Structure 1
Amino acid sequence: MIRFSLAPLLASAALASAATSPASAQSACGPREQLVKLLADQYKEDPVGMGLSQPGQILEVFASSNGSWTMVMTMPDGKACMIAAGDNWEMVTKVKGSPI
């Protein structure tokens, strides 16, 4: 689900990635700092989790108190791409003896 307010970021990413494949040109990508600022300013989303995906790639989840969430993959060169977004995010804490 691509958010419509990411249009300026998508436009600059499309120009920067004109030599890449069509599938990657459709991603919402850009400098990580800009993407993080956009998520904070427009959606009030802050980081709630992160992990190492592939060597040098970091997967982050951003979420807001109203339930919106976004997954971002950051590459070693600082380029970040929004890979998923949605609503109804809930933080889950493991309770001793729980299957989760």
Structure 2
Amino acid sequence: MPTARLAIAAALSLGAAAAASPPASAQQPICGDRASLVTQLQKKYGEARRAMGLQGESTLIEVFASSDTGTWTILFTRPDGVTCAVAAGQAWREEDGEAATESPI
């Protein structure tokens, strides 16, 4: 499986776990209209959608990232249409080829 797909699968799994049971000190997800959140990601951070998939049958998960700024954001859109930014970070990088054997950190 290509490294990018493994990284995205790991991010989505971690994002789902974080959304299900965030640490007590974690900030609450930012939720709102999907179009507004996507516009903010594009204008403020230069992020564009890099991957998407379904969790279960009805929750859309999207990964937005920018190679220029290095930022990334995971959005969940619930069946009721509400979109939440559930994880975000820095140092985004895309990899080609097979999974790396060395830890990136």
TM-score (norm 1): 0.66
Within 5 Å, which residues of 2 pair with 1:17-96?
26-65=28-67, 66-93=69-96, 95=97
The structure number with the bigger radius of gyration is 1
Cα deviation code 1:4-56 (max 9, x no counterpart): xxxxxxxxxxxxxxxxxxxxxx3200011111011011111100001111221
Structure number with the bigger relative contact order (C-alpha 8 A, sep ≥ 6) is: 2
Q: Distance in 2 between matches of 1:63 and 1:35?
A: 13
How many residues in Structure 1 have an aligned counterpart in Structure 2?
73
Give the CA RMSD over aligned residues: 1.7
Q: Which runs of 5+ in 1 are unaligned?
A: 1-25
Percent sequence identity over aligned pairs: 42
Q: Which runs of 5+ in 2 are unaligned?
A: 1-27, 101-105
Please identify runs of 4+ aligned residues in structure 1 that moved more than 6 A. none
